[in-house]
Amino acid sequence: MFNASLTAMFRIYLGLLISSTLFISSCQNKDESPSEQHTSDTNAQPIGSALLSFDEALAYNYIDTQVAFGPRKPGSKGHRECALWLVKTLSELSDTAYVQEFDAITFDAKRHKGKNILGKLNPRNPQRILLCAHWDTRPMADQDIKAPHLPILGANDAGSGVGVILALLKSLKEKPISLGIDIVFFDLEDYGQPQNSGLPPMKDDWCLGSQYWAKNTQHTFLPRWGILLDMVGGKDATFLKEETSVTYAANLVNRVWGHAQSLSYSHYFLNEPMGAITDDHLYINTIAGIPTIDIIHYKLNNGGFADYWHTHLDNMQSVDKPTLKAVGKTLLYTIHEEDKYMQ
Ligand SMILES: [Zn+2]
């Protein structure tokens, strides 16, 4: 079903394809919490447009700032400096921000001190959701012909998800909600084994930060659902209904895509399925037990990721403000609706 060349970063999770039928009975209704019962709210009156004020230029600037640190390859100067900036910025935009450090060993047997960067909005509200993205960038350009051993800038692949979430928090600061939001920027998502490494295939070598977070985080109040953003800034991006997301949180997928449709963003959020992808949401679903979906740019008809994926062309030229706006406004709509129904 999938081109094998697509499997380098987000390997198709064949195990899930096989085992999904086992999980369906126990997980299908996991996102049927009371808040999920209003899944037909795609027909509800759209909330005021003022509430949906999302500053895509700000999101773009947040991405540009990350890229200006250079590659955020774990262990690099850019990685260290960007972590400091992220904690500072997140602390300004939420009620609390902190670093969850962890030890990790990557496929190349290198040891790392990983840094998940966490924030909370309205931390005392037990009614919560989760927004997340990874912030590290790929340490090699293994999909590039030129200089494949050098790290990528990762404007879209890492920068965009973080940028949209930060800009969204700015919107929520201006139009406050009472819903609680947990924010996580995962480290070491993108240090998985390249296909051409010559090493035997490994298991769970991607998404090391989310695996640690899912296994070790104590939740005072468990988020009722989560949304992962990954590669959400590409020009004319298409977001398909990814299989793991549908398996664990079908209602949330339909709500988000419905909200996008209400906002006239159906040309970004296509009502089309795609296969399962190994991304941070897999571990959030299977280990942390939070029904979580992945919004990720993937081309229609099994067309794979964007052409600049894991190449040196993943720079600011790959980032498009209208796409950032579509994703940001759709998320804002979803969050305000959740806030409204939570009352
Ligand atoms: Zn990547």
> 215-258, pLDDT tens digit by residue?
999 999 999 999 999 999 999 999 999 999 999 999 999 999 99
Ligand 1: centre distance to CA 262 (Å): 30
Ligand 1: centre distance to CA 158 (Å): 7
Ligand 1: centre distance to CA 212 (Å): 18
Given this model, what pLDDT does residue 51 score? 60
CA angle 55, 48, 297 (to 5 degrees): 45
Ligand 1: centre distance to CA 310 (Å): 6
| Residue (of 177, 162, 165, 128) closest to 54 by Cα position | 165
Q: How many CB atoms lie within 10 A of CB 94?
A: 21
Angle between helices 56-68 and 321-342 in degrees, nearest 10 = 120
Ligand 1: centre distance to CA 203 (Å): 17
Ligand 1: centre distance to CA 27 (Å): 28
Ligand 1: centre distance to CA 67 (Å): 14
Ligand 1: centre distance to CA 6 (Å): 11
Q: Which residue segments constitute the domains of the chain, with CATH numbers given? A: 4-342 (3.40.630.10)
Ligand 1: centre distance to CA 8 (Å): 9
**pTM summary value:** 0.88
Ligand 1: centre distance to CA 237 (Å): 16
Ligand 1: centre distance to CA 5 (Å): 13
pLDDT in tens, 60-105: 999 999 999 999 999 999 999 999 999 999 999 999 999 999 999 9
CA angle 276, 287, 185 (to 5 degrees): 80
pLDDT in tens, 248-276: 999 999 999 999 999 999 999 999 999 99
The encoded tokens of residue 45 equal 């009156």
Q: DSSP class of residue 194?
A: P
Ligand 1: centre distance to CA 157 (Å): 5
